[in-house]
Amino acid sequence: MQDSAPLSAQAPPETRPQAVRLLSSGQLIRISLLWYGLQFFWASQQQIVLPHRVEDFVSADQKGFYYMLIKSAGAFMVVLTQFTVGFLSDHTHSRLGPRRPFIITGISGGLLAILFFMFAPGYWWLFAAYMLIEIFINAASIPFQALLPDLVPEKQHDRAGALMGLGNLGGNFLGLLVIIAMPFLFGEGKPMGPETLLLGGNVYDAGNILFLLPLYILALTICTLIVVFSVNETAWAQHERERISGPVFRFSLLPGTLVEFARTGRTAVGSIVRHYLSLDFRTNADFKWLAISRFVIHLGYCTFQAFVAYFAAACLDREGWLLSLGLTPSKSLLKVVLPAMLLFFLLGGLAGNLLSVPVSARFGRLRTIAGSLVCAILLFIPLIFTHNVWVAVGMGLFIGMSWGAFIASDWAFATTLMPKQQSGSYMGIWDFTTLMPQVLAPMIGGPLRDWIYGLQARRLAPGLDPAALPEALMRACEAPAYQIIFGTIIIWFALGIWLLRFVRSGRLPA
């Protein structure tokens, strides 16, 4: 790393963007394809692999603390990685362009970290492996997401946003299919294979986790190869690279790359921090308010994610639903009810993504975002009060449709508002608005649940220990708690809609 002459005098030659031309549907699909692999991995990893791997090494009375520890540390690593890599990829030069070297390195390192995670022999080895997963996968994710503002003409942002949303939800959909299939493949009564004995635990809870390893490798490798070899960053670029004058930091971070950025601090880290502190959100107020609105809305969505399993167990008649299907309720089949519900949510999301393009073209992105959230609020009301699984599934389908339209339009709108020469940095900020709600939502909902549960226990079972109630009575105490927690989702969504009033633009350009 060195202090050097101005970049304009020494920078490698860049391909100057040609006149704006629209991308074909195939090109838009290839740009967004890695979403399928990433979300397929995260869906099953977060729902099955991480919780059960933690349980392999800690006792039942400690798993809450150690699970929170690994998740919180992982969230910190995500923030650090996203802000750092977002900035560095904005200032990287290579034959492949600024983003693809990070995608290649991130996914390659991520696959090795996943392998390490699967075979970790103890909790702290597992902790280290999970930190590496978060670092490498997110080092690929942010540059990948920045491909959209880099390469897609503004007129096609809605279509590209919808395809990104399809990949996001489609990957989750495939991950949930695997979750549903595993109890039938390795469920109760099935022989324990050597992989289950290796990992420890019972058949379903251990999840025959190694069954997922080749699926992760195939999904991430195939999607990455398609993006790397079929996307041309230099030929499709929609804007020129930022020109830097004055002293710069210059170094090679990855093979075949050159990173150059203005020296605004004594160290490279100081310069990166100064960069983020100097971002002018007064002149880009629409992005600021859209990001704040998204943060609040995702507090509602992450509340749904964090507590939907508990809501389903406490508030829905899962046993009666399985009996109506001719199935005998068992521990494994009861666990299938939740992913089955979420599948319908994701199916609705896929439909909502497709509908978002014509709706945004007709009414504008801002009205599409607000309208989809209003619909979600109205649909959450019957969901909160029902005990019927089929009603919950139906509401979930249409809530998913509303959510799909929201994420596609919100993504496209943000992409349009981002300064194109700083899209990696802004994409790191944009992802921060979805990451922190994942941390805060359980911190808000958890104590609220415990407080309401304690009140209900004292009312329904005075004199009994709230921690030792019979199962039926415990569910009766829990149900109002999760209904109220789901009620807070409506509050977050409504507040997010109100914040959108500060966003002044929103219709598609002519």
CA-CA-CA-CA torsion for 132, 135, 139, 142, nearest 10 degrees?
A: 140
Asked if 72 and 196 touch (Cβ cutoff 8 Å), the reply is no
Q: In terms of pLDDT, which residue wins out, 397 or 338?
A: 397
**Band of residue 257 on the pLDDT scale cut at 50, 70, 90:** confident
CA-CA-CA-CA torsion for 363, 153, 167, 502, nearest 10 degrees?
A: -40
**For residue 189, what is the DSSP state?**
T
pLDDT at residue number 377 = 97
**Band of residue 19 on the pLDDT scale cut at 50, 70, 90:** low
Q: What are the backbone dihedrals phi and psi of residue 258, each rounded to the nearest 5 degrees, phi first? A: -135, 120
pLDDT at residue number 183 = 64
Quickly name the fold that domain 13-241+268-277 has.
Growth Hormone; Chain: A; (1.20.1250)
Q: What are the backbone dihedrals phi and psi of residue 137, each rounded to the nearest 5 degrees, phi first? A: -65, -40
Distance in angstroms (rounded) separating the CA atoms of residues 92 and 89: 5
3-state secondary structure at position 161? helix
Mean pLDDT of the chain: 82
Q: In terms of pLDDT, which residue wins out, 1 or 105?
A: 105
User: Is 279-510 in the same CATH topology as 13-241+268-277?
Assistant: yes
CATH code for residues 279-510: 1.20.1250.20
Q: In terms of pLDDT, which residue wins out, 410 or 187?
A: 410
pLDDT at residue number 136 = 96
- Which residues, 6 or more positions from 409, have their beta carbon under 8 angstroms from its beta carbon? 158, 161, 356, 359, 360, 365, 368, 369, 372
Asked if 223 and 32 touch (Cβ cutoff 8 Å), the reply is no
Q: Is the pLDDT of residue 313 over 50?
A: yes
Distance in angstroms (rounded) separating the CA atoms of residues 356 and 365: 9
Q: Is the pLDDT of residue 297 over 50?
A: yes
Asked if 90 and 98 touch (Cβ cutoff 8 Å), the reply is yes
pLDDT at residue number 176 = 77
Summarize the confidence of residues 134-144 as an average pLDDT: 93
How many other C-beta atoms lie within 10 A of the C-beta of residue 378?
A: 14
Distance in angstroms (rounded) separating the CA atoms of residues 302 and 294: 12
Q: What is the pLDDT of residues 162-179, one digit of tens each?
A: 888 888 888 888 887 777
Distance in angstroms (rounded) separating the CA atoms of residues 411 and 297: 13
**Band of residue 498 on the pLDDT scale cut at 50, 70, 90:** very high
Q: Is the pLDDT of residue 225 over 90?
A: yes
Q: Domain map of the chain by residue range?
A: 13-241+268-277, 279-510
Summarize the confidence of residues 133-147 as an average pLDDT: 92
pLDDT at residue number 438 = 83
pLDDT at residue number 462 = 81
Look-up of token digits 């009666």: 320
Summarize the confidence of residues 30-51 as an average pLDDT: 86
**Band of residue 63 on the pLDDT scale cut at 50, 70, 90:** low
Q: Is the pLDDT of residue 473 over 60?
A: yes
Residue 478 tokens, joined? 């829990």
CA 142 to chain centre: 12
pTM confidence score = 0.79
Residue 110 tokens, joined? 């991520």
